[in-house]
Amino acid sequence: HDWTPAQWAFRWLYNQPEVTVVLSGMNSLEMVEENCRTASEMQAGSLTDEDFELLDKIKEAIRENEKVGCTGCRYCMPCPKGVDIPGTFACYNTMYTEGKNSGRFQYAQTVGLTKEPAFASQCIECGKCEQHCPQSIPIREKLKEADKALRPFPYKVGINAARWYMYRKGGLSGKKKSALIIIITVILAIASGIVFSLVKRNSRLDTDCQ
């Protein structure tokens, strides 16, 4: 089928006999037309066994490459301590879909180097976010995991140093800020690789000595 992801989602919903109304957010006339066309074509029981097999494969692929099932709905926001919960989870997932350095770069750019820091480590575990999460994500637990993965020690040092430099008196222009983020990310990626190699080497030496 030459269906868009949205069409697949709608068709799955319309295929459920207990579903009578589907609500959708639409941002353009094209989306309205597409949704109306999909609704006019579908009814309960229209999807085939092959369609369900494909959907199962897609779900499995998503689960394998996703650490947190956050949809970015932002019902958990605002955090009383300023944590960017959806942003953190998006970066955490990026680490496993596009590579660790990509996720960490995204985290530094969108969470770590903003004027008001929004680190996962700012969480005080009040639990307010979890009360509003429609996915029932254990947010407090996942924030700890994400912060540990996204900010290993070299990154913490580098980001803190960059924040001091960027937001000292006068600050930096947009272009200089972007350039600095790229430079810092490259340096931190190299530093993390060196640290990891040394740890791995020492671990191997300890094993050999035993």
Residue 198 parent element (H or E)? helix 174-209
pLDDT in tens, 39-61: 888 777 788 899 999 889 888 88
* Number of C-beta neighbours around residue 96 at 10 A: 16
Q: Which pLDDT belongs to residue 136?
A: 94
Q: Which pLDDT belongs to residue 17?
A: 82
pTM over the 0.75 mark: no
- The pLDDT of 192-196, averaged and rounded, is 56
pLDDT in tens, 109-149: 888 877 788 999 999 999 999 999 999 999 999 999 999 99
- The pLDDT of 164-188, averaged and rounded, is 63
d(CA 160, CA 138): 28
pLDDT in tens, 14-39: 888 888 888 887 888 988 888 888 88
Q: Which pLDDT belongs to residue 183?
A: 67
Residue spans per domain, the chain: 5-65, 85-156, 168-198
Task: Compute CA distances 66 → 4, 42, 60, 140, whole Å.
Answer: 21, 30, 10, 17
What's the one-letter identity of residue 126? Answer: C
Q: Which pLDDT belongs to residue 7?
A: 84
Rounded mean pLDDT of the chain? 81
**Hey, what are 93's tokens?**
């997932």
- The pLDDT of 71-78, averaged and rounded, is 94
Task: Compute CA distances 129 → 80, 118, 135, 206, whole Å.
Answer: 9, 15, 11, 44
